[in-house]
Amino acid sequence: MDSAQADSAPPVASSPLSPADRLIVALDLPSANTALDLVDELQGLCRWFKVGMELYYAAGNSIVHRLRDRGFEVFLDLKLHDIPNTVAGAIRSVASSGASLLTIHASGGEKMMRAAALAASRPEFPRLLAVSVLTSIDAADLSATGVPDSPETQVLRLAKLAQAAGISGLVCSPQEVASVRQVMGPDALLVIPGVRPAGSAGSDDQARTATAAEAIARGASMLVVGRPITQAPDPSKAAASLLTEIASA
């Protein structure tokens, strides 16, 4: 990765991060107005918000601009995966949105990731994160796609591939983060979905989960949390509770 991009990137794991720097609230919602209503309801507790495919396809770059205008940081989770030239072009197209982080799929291969890293090398472009194995996938699901290895083995394989391609950030489940941290080192930005509050009764459609405290203790840089906050009876209270759990880790 170009040094200019690294200079503009979010804090890495070795930096002292506040709980608000570690929590990304996933705005997996159908419209910009619904998303911004939730942002208002959180009363400034959170600094980071994730805009994924559902919201981005509904609202486009405008939702990123609106969040940025309010002073928030944006994780644009588009999971780009195509031929190298197409992914590089997509990165250049979304760069003007102002997002701080952007995802591509590590399974697109080293050539694709190298093209992505080159396209994102300008300092004003978002820092790239390579998505490894989705947290909804277990060993049986992975085997059905033709990968006979465990999710952890495949995650580590993709982490090494991403690092070789010049991408120093990875998205993986809480169950692999300790191993990935050993492989990618202390300065890698490890963003972890599949996080559930302590005492949570279920995992929804996530197969490989952990609590916020467990994920931080294993080496996570930042945590992505959606439904435990967005579908809570009191989202502000749920976010505050998670921030307390992160602070205690």
CATH topology of domain 3-248: TIM Barrel (3.20.20)
What residue segments make up the domains of the chain, in order of their start?
Answer: 3-248
What is the set of active-site residues? 79
Which residues, listed in sequence order, are joined to residue 190 by a DSSP beta bridge? 170
The residue ranges of the chain whose pLDDT is under 50 are 1-9, 11-14
Contact 79, 107 (CB under 8 A): no
Contact 103, 170 (CB under 8 A): no
Which residue type, as a one-letter code, is found at position 222? M
Q: How far apart are CA 112 and CA 114, in angstroms?
A: 5
Contact 195, 215 (CB under 8 A): yes
Q: Tell me, rounded to whole angstroms, the distance of Cα 245 from its chain centroid.
A: 19
DSSP code of residue 95: G
Q: Can you read off the two tokens belonging to residue 204?
A: 């929804």
Q: What is the pLDDT of residue 200?
A: 61
pTM: 0.89
Site of tokens 């490894």: 132
